A and B are shown apart, each in its own frame.
Chain A
Amino acid sequence: MYRYDTYDQAMVDARVAEFRDQAQRRIDGKLTEDQFKPLRLMNGLYLQLHAYMLRVAVPYGTLSGAQMHMLGDIADKYDRGYGHFTTRQNIQYNWIKLEEAGDILADLASVEMHAIQTSGNCIRNISSDHYAGAAADELIDPRPYAELLRQWSSFHPEFSYLPRKFKIAVIASKRDRAAMRLHDIGLEIVRNAAGELGAAFYIGGGMGRTPMVGPLIRDFVPLDQLITYSEAALRVYNRYGRRDNKYKARIKILVHELGKDEYARQVEEEFAHLLEQNVEPPLAELERIKAMFADPAFKPGLPTKADRTDPAFALWMDRNCHAHKTPGYISATISLKPVGGIPGDASADQIRLMARLATQYSFDECRVTHAQNIVLPHVEIGQLHALWQQLDAAGLATPNLDQIDDIIACPGLDYCSLANARSIPVAQQISERFAANGKADAIGELKLKISGCINACGHHHAGHIGILGVDKKGLENYQLLLGGSEAEDTSLGKITGPGFDEAGIVDAVEKATDVYLAQRTDGERFLDTYRRIGMEPFKEALYG
């Protein structure tokens, strides 16, 4: 994985010193809150419902054991003993003190981490496939390109004050595990007819109050022009994106209003201009980065099958593990969704345990997934049972990946000052309901996602079942959506009809799954059945 060079470390250390000074000046009364707010947001520090919240960047979700361990230590030392893994593959702490924020950033910098550009109208953390570098179905490891984009976008002087925040995802397989087309820019690394590698650019996707699936703007950009094309795409947005209305300021609105063809034409014009300016980083820099993402020393000739005599282990292996590109290895997902738990939350002890397991079993590497789980990407199949035993003892072996209780949920009104309704209690009740009624296993794959407001941090538009919390005359109300997908078959969910109260939404989810169970044909997922039979049977069950 990527390691800082002296320039990286110096930049991050300088930012720590700068923020320490800014925070002290705020405490001393030399800066007003209006002056300080944009400075703290540039360092990921929000003021939320109960305290300051710090969002720490985890580039493309990849962490070393030492980095993960530090995240656990920070939870203990500066917070209340836990952290919350987010849908942008980051981690957030909910109980931060301003007077300690500089110390936290210094601790992060000591393990090559920071909170830079985790907020504000800039290019945010680059996300990617959580199985990158391990998946059997990928063309190449997309992370060197994600890292190149990270370096290009960090402190980019032209793109530090964009009309609105900007999110980029990079994948390199046909299976989309990063919600690529729901990003401002989604890059899919592809091979053209001549066998050359390049990137397809999908631009203008996103969720939020105006969800859109990103259209294909260019089907092939040579990999040695990736930054140049990205710069052109951003430059057109920065020039024409609306700054008069924050709700119309995202690039998706610009692409939609210009039309994708006109937007693409303008990007091509800028691209041609930039190619003459030679803005692409030197190839040597990409090669330097690539070398740090070389495969670990996978052993040849390892057993390719595990002892499955323990049925609980076999179930977990079937549900939570993913095929690896190297025989004898497998990627294991640690679910942070125990029955009735808070999606994405992990205690300091659990975080440190996952760090130790990453070191012991996965070449010192783990990943945060956008679904708020943790992946150990490179586990020997022969050691999988021993790993599972340790996870099971720590309550981290819930076998529910991509099932109805593997719920994505934003912090909602329990923590977030933007939220209109609580997300977490709804997630907990659905999880408990389906654990009690035993239907989760029968239902199989069903991605359920909950947001506590229209900003859609809980990806409700992309849930096979989505739930959106709204404020209805001062009361929490929940709209139900069906038919969304964040995968390669990206689609946006549709609202079923009038919303429900907290108890009603849990019943509504069960009714929707009952329709599916009654109407599915062999092999159909919930999403497939919905797409085949449409909304009406569900509406009839919900409101008839």
Chain B
Amino acid sequence: MKILTGNDLKSGAVTWWDGRGWSLNVDDAVDAGDQADAIIARESAAQAVNAAYAIDATRDDAGHVRPAHIKDRVRALGPTVRPDLTLKPADPAAVNWVN
């Protein structure tokens, strides 16, 4: 599927298009389909997101979204060398998800 990601303008935080707004959790990302460019243009113009782009991703049976490229998986999780600063600090196996 095609999902959208960008950064929050003020905080710089990585965000994901969830169909209505921008979420911090990649699992909230929805398939933008052929609307990707239109959504990015509209949301960027409204200052709702910064530097947005579309990427390929998959959703598994449990509902977890996995970006196709490792760079976006690192963006989704956080720095693999600082688990305490990731979105899943309590999960010691979270880093394995990036590989």
Q: Using CB atoms and an 8 Å cutoff, list the residues of chain A in contact with chain B.
A: 26-27, 29, 33, 47, 49-52, 80, 94-99, 342, 413-415, 417, 419, 422, 424-425, 428, 474-476
Contact = CB atoms under 8 A, between A and B. Distances in A.
Interface string B64-77: 00001111001100
Given A49-B74, A414-B74, A428 B11 contact: no
- Helix, strand, loop or mixed for chain A's interface? mixed
Given A51-B12, A97-B11, 11 more contacts: A27-B9, A47-B12, A47-B50, A47-B51, A49-B79, A50-B75, A51-B13, A419-B71, A425-B80, A428-B81, A474-B69
B85 interface: yes
Lowest 6 A-B CB distances belong to which pairs?
A51-B12, A52-B12, A414-B79, A424-B81, A99-B10, A97-B11
A49 B75 contact: yes
A97 B71 CA distance: 21
B32 to A, nearest CB: 20
Contacts, number: 68
B interface residue count range (under 10 / 10 to 19 / 20 to 34 / 35 or more): 20 to 34
A29 B81 CA distance: 35
B75 to A, nearest CB: 5
A93 B13 CA distance: 14
A109 to B, nearest CB: 22
A96 B12 contact: yes
B71 A51 contact: no
B79 A29 contact: no
B90 to A, nearest CB: 17
Nearest to B44: A33
A26 B69 CA distance: 30
A80 B20 CA distance: 30
B71 A33 contact: no
A319 B13 CA distance: 41
A96 B74 CA distance: 18
Contacts of A33: 44, 50-51
B70 to A, nearest CB: 7
A483 B70 CA distance: 31
Contacts of A425: 80-81
A470 to B, nearest CB: 12
A475 B11 CA distance: 30
A413 B71 contact: yes
A203 B44 CA distance: 43
A98 B12 contact: yes
24 contacts: A27-B10, A33-B44, A47-B51, A49-B14, A49-B74, A50-B13, A50-B14, A50-B78, A50-B79, A51-B7, A51-B12, A94-B79, A95-B12, A97-B10, A98-B9, A98-B11, A99-B10, A413-B70, A417-B71, A419-B71, A422-B74, A424-B81, A474-B68, A474-B70
Nearest to A475: B70
A371 B20 CA distance: 47
A94 B82 CA distance: 12
Nearest to A501: B99
A96 B11 CA distance: 7
A99 B13 CA distance: 12
B35 interface: no
Contact of A476 (B68, B70, B78): B70
A263 B78 CA distance: 46
Contacts of B47: 27, 29
B51 to A, nearest CB: 6
Given A29-B47, A47-B51, A342 B81 contact: yes
Contacts of A417: 71
A126 B69 CA distance: 37
Given A97-B12, A98-B9, A49 B71 contact: yes
A474 B99 CA distance: 10
Nearest to B7: A47
Contacts of A414: 74, 79-82
B14 to A, nearest CB: 6
B9 A26 contact: yes
Contacts of B9: 26-27, 98
Contacts of A94: 79
A475 B73 CA distance: 12
Interface in B25-42: none
Contacts of B13: 50-51
Nearest to B68: A474
A413 B51 contact: no
A49 B10 CA distance: 15
Contacts of A476: 70
Contacts of B44: 33
B78 to A, nearest CB: 6
A473 B3 CA distance: 21
B12 A50 contact: yes
Contacts of A415: 79
Contacts of A428: 81
A75 to B, nearest CB: 13
A52 B10 CA distance: 9
Contacts of B7: 47, 51
Contacts of A51: 7, 11-14
A475 B79 CA distance: 17
Interface string B1-20: 00000010111111000000
A224 B57 CA distance: 61
A420 to B, nearest CB: 8
Which of B44, B74, B75 gathers the greatest number of chain A CB atoms within 10 Å?
A: B74
Nearest to B50: A33
Given A414-B80, A424-B81, A474-B68, A98 B10 contact: yes
A303 B4 CA distance: 66
A260 B69 CA distance: 43
Contacts of A342: 81-82
A497 to B, nearest CB: 24
